Amino acid sequence: MTVKFINAKEAASMIPDGSTVAIDAFISFCLADDILGEIESRFVREGHPSSLSVVNVAGIGGDGKDRGINHFAHKGLMRRFLCSNLSLANKIYPLITEDAFPCFMIPQGVLSHMMRAIASGKPGIITEVGMKTFVDPRIDGGCINDAAKACDERPVQLIQLNGSDCLFYPAFSIDIAIIKGSKADKKGNISLEKEAMHLEQLEMATAARNSGGIVMVQVDEIVEHGTIHPQQVTVPSTLVDYVILGSPGNTGQHFIEGLPDPIDSWCGDEKIQLEEIKSIPLSPEKIICRRGVFEIKEDSFINLGIGVPMNVSSILNEEGLIEKVSASIESGVMGGVPAPGIATGAAYNPDAILKQPDMFDFYDGGGIDYACLGSAEIDMHGNVNVSRFAGKVPGPGGFINITQGAKNICFMGTFTAGKSDIRIEDGKLNIVKDGPHIKFREHVDHITFSGENSLDKVKQHVIYITERAVFALLPEGLTLIEIAPGADLEKDILGKMDFTPVISKDLRLMDERLFRPEKMGISLKK
């Protein structure tokens, strides 16, 4: 078929009610926001398209306001929602809690690989990823709300293979694929050279095409046929039905306020001096990240999660150690200095930008030496919750894939949650006012990481780092191994937990250098 060039309004008009729509993006990156905005406008205007089954691989909250999946925050627009993450999808949360539609979450890597499975006509994904977490059908089966629990269309099944329990994630057909590229030539070949990451645009387009569906691609620029080097063509015209030239305000590399667009060092078009990257000020978060660096060996392959752990890259850079490790992000970015905050997924000066399903191949196979990840709740069994807490459902993203595949894990987060006044004075911690919310719970509300699975099956080295205490996952339970100078064991630690941990016989003080404003002057483990 000849590729047709249309506008976003025309694209939205082609989506039938009841379609299964797959949308590719990563937060605000690779986001076809013109098309999503016109789908919203048409629904508000006409009540169509309605009853969509929507699938997105990573979180696509856009700018945390109106972009991305927030465009779909209208009752009746979605019939079913399958995703891995809802970070920044602030308008969607109320609909989920009100049971406006069934919402399911499964691991990001599984969804990324699912695009490839659908494309190749496989029945689905068989894996151990998700075992003993909320995704396991013996626990919640990926159900996020009551509407999901009442739904017969479950995204995961428990099966036995060669005498062992496994999870089976069934494949499905895709009617519409919505993806984003940098350029399209007049034949419809798509390149991604200005994007900060390459996701699963090819796999999703192939999945839709082989499902008998259609592929819509929003691009920044249309160029003459033959002007895109063949090695830069990520999605060939054979897989493209419609090309939409994005408007200046709704297209580009990202939607992050206050930053230039594009950032050329994110897509590899330029290199910046590492000295230009600012260090973070001394704070509880910096203490946590510094302590995490103590665990990393030279020449390790590491993954940095969203939130506090992203600043590990800043510490490594500050200490002149960033080039002694290979940092990675599940988006497919390898090397360089991972960008923090809402820019998570990109990196300054990346060594390579792989496709996301290729990165998850490496992760799932055990390629991560050290994973530094966040923690919203931790319990006495070492279970960690990052997917449902405080009335929100951010979801696991790639957390489950990463934690089940990594050899060593550092969970990172402040000891309590909420507004606090914690000062760092003279190499000691001074807890003037603690956060009001306890994070160390007897039982977590949602199991995103299973301590039992880690000990019994995966056999990892796992520690839990806060600004005032460090714990280890041991067979006898969550074990306190370090406390901060200035912190009181009874008042500041045990008194702020819902359970009493095992206390190591070798309990020691955290390194005083963590609490000093100057560089620590450390070397990585050999």
Q: What is the rounded CA–CA span in Å between residue 460 and residue 450? A: 11
Tell me the β-bridge partners of 184: 190, 222
Q: What is the rounded CA–CA span in Å between residue 342 and residue 257? A: 10
Active site residue 276: no
DSSP 248: G
3-state secondary structure of 97: helix
Contact 91, 62 (CB under 8 A): no
Inter-CA distances, 33 with 5, 38, 117, 524, Å: 17, 8, 26, 43
Cβ neighbours for 202, distance < 8 A, ≥ 6 positions apart: 234, 235, 239, 355
Q: What is the rounded CA–CA span in Å between residue 376 and residue 389? A: 7
State the catalytic residue, choosing from 38, 295, 319, 330: 330
3-state secondary structure of 287: helix
Q: What is the rounded CA–CA span in Å between residue 260 and residue 196? A: 13
Q: What is the rounded CA–CA span in Å between residue 465 and residue 245? A: 47
Query: Which phi and psi angles does 479 have, rounded to 5°?
Result: -120, 125
Q: What is the rounded CA–CA span in Å between residue 83 and residue 103? A: 8
DSSP 53: E
Active site positions, annotated: 330
